């Protein structure tokens, strides 16, 4: 038996469509908000107790063969001419730092792997320890993660040899090289040529690392400057013969500017977001910032579940640009706080066609891919979606301006939740009054 959506929701949808362009209305018609069902799952999923941040919970587990679900909704995605058995990609970082860990990722069933960022001269890269710090909730769950880790410190030739080995062993799996260089056309061209010779399937351009590398005018320093970004993307796309994604920094006022610049310069897609520049905290015993290296620290990149709402907002903005300005012909890889298949579904609903996980793997291991796929299939079965494309971008038409929200609520004469105006706030009932206006 299916539950009908409230009539007010359908009325809001109709009004919202009337205020959008014909393209947006057509998109909403192609991707209607589905009717929910009582059934938790229609696909053949195993269920077992697994631990997430220390708590045992029943989570669906997909049965994967070479990354492809053997039953249930189809998780296959196609992007830039590449086919992945599922939309989950190892994000560039420690989980893709050498042959052993990348092989592990493919064996466990990840749809694709993005290797740790490489450059021509690794001798300039020196990491420190400790280089990670955790933020925990009151119940000791890890909700935030800071890193001050740099790009790969391994010789480029070593990484290239391992790329070749991986492609020989997993010829049908997608291996992406993450690359970064200084403002030097020759260095970019050399890096691209050598990586392509190793057999990688695509490039992700790291325009977004927020620590260490910007001191050399690399990473985030390029991603924050649209003029330099346009020029460097031009160099890259002129040289590259395989798909190119530009990885966006969230440390900018409007992420659509660099995203639009990269796409106009020829990139086949963008990835968002990289980590958010942060200071994890100060040790109140030593009075030193964390992570402390010889008593000192430096701002790093913030990730894990706490960044997901920020990442979703950035992905939504880029998704709108790709829909409205590029006719959905560019790709978007969503990143930020994904630890469950339902987290991933939210990014896909906002237009992403792949989802990257990095910190989650560092906390839970490579085997989490089976839960990610199982939970995504569970979500799809609840709404009778047969494929990712059945719902990708389906939530984008439901974003509008605050002014229009006010107008729609007035026209629908909807009963207001909570307080009618600011004069009704009281001191004694402040907490309850706040809760009365929280979305349920």
As annotated, the active-site residues are 209
Radius of gyration of the chain (CA): 23
Spatial separation of the C-alpha atoms in residues 397 and 324, rounded to whole Å:
11
Q: Which two tokens stand for residue 370?
A: 């089976």
DSSP 3-state assignment of 126?
coil
How far, in Å, CA of 295 to CA of 306, rounded?
Answer: 27
Which two structure tokens, joined as six digits, stand for 64? 């994967």
The rounded distance, in Å, linking the Cα atoms of 105 and 166 is 11
Q: Which of 274, 335, 275, 271 is nearest to 299 (CA)?
A: 275
Task: Please check whether residue 97 is in contact with residue 52, taking contact to mean a CB–CB distance below 8 angstroms.
Answer: no
DSSP assignment of 203-217: EEEE----SSGGGGT
DSSP state of 146: E
Q: Which residues pair with 53 in a beta bridge?
A: none
Q: Smallest Cα–Cα separation from 355: which of 366, 340, 365? A: 340
Contacts of 22 (CB under 8 A, 6+ apart): none
């Amino acid at each position: 038996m299916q539950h009908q959506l409230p009539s007010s929701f359908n009325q809001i949808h109709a009004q919202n469509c009337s205020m959008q362009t014909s393209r947006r209305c057509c998109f909403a018609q192609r991707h209607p908000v589905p009717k929910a069902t009582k059934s938790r799952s229609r696909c053949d999923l195993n269920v077992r107790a697994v631990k997430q941040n220390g708590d045992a919970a029943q989570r669906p587990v997909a049965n994967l063969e070479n990354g492809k679900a053997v039953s249930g909704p189809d998780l296959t995605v196609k992007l830039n001419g590449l086919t992945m058995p599922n939309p989950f990609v190892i994000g560039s970082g420690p989980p893709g730092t050498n042959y052993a860990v990348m092989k592990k990722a493919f064996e466990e069933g990840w749809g694709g792997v993005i290797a740790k960022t490489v450059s021509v001269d690794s001798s300039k890269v020196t990491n420190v320890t400790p280089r990670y710090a955790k933020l925990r909730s009151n119940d000791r769950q890890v909700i935030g993660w800071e890193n001050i880790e740099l790009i790969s410190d391994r010789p480029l030739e070593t990484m290239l040899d391992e790329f070749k080995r991986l492609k020989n062993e997993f010829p049908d799996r997608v291996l992406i090289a993450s690359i970064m260089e200084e403002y030097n056309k020759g260095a970019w061209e050399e890096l691209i040529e050598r990586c392509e010779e190793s057999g990688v399937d695509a490039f992700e351009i790291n325009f977004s690392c927020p620590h260490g590398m910007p001191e050399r005018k690399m990473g985030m320093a390029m991603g924050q400057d649209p003029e330099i970004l346009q020029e460097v993307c031009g160099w890259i796309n002129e040289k590259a013969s395989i798909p190119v994604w530009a990885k966006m920094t969230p440390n900018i006022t409007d992420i659509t500017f660099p995203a639009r610049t990269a796409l106009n310069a020829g990139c086949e897609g963008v990835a968002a977001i990289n980590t958010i520049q942060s200071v994890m905290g100060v040790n109140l015993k030593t009075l030193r910032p964390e992570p402390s290296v010889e008593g000192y620290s430096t701002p790093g990149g913030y990730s894990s579940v706490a960044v997901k709402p920020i990442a979703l907002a950035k992905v939504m903005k880029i998704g709108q640009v790709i829909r409205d300005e590029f006719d959905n012909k560019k790709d978007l890889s969503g990143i930020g706080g994904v630890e469950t298949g339902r987290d991933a579904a939210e990014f896909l609903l906002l237009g992403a066609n792949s989802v990257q996980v990095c910190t989650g793997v560092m906390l839970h291991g490579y085997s989490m891919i089976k839960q990610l796929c199982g939970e995504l299939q569970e979500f799809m079965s609840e709404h009778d979606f047969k494929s990712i494309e059945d719902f990708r971008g389906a939530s984008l038409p439901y974003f509008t301006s605050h002014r229009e929200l006010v107008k729609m609520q007035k026209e629908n004469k909807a009963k207001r939740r909570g307080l009618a105006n600011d004069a009704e706030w009281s001191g004694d009932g402040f907490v309850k009054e706040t809760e009365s206006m929280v979305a349920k």
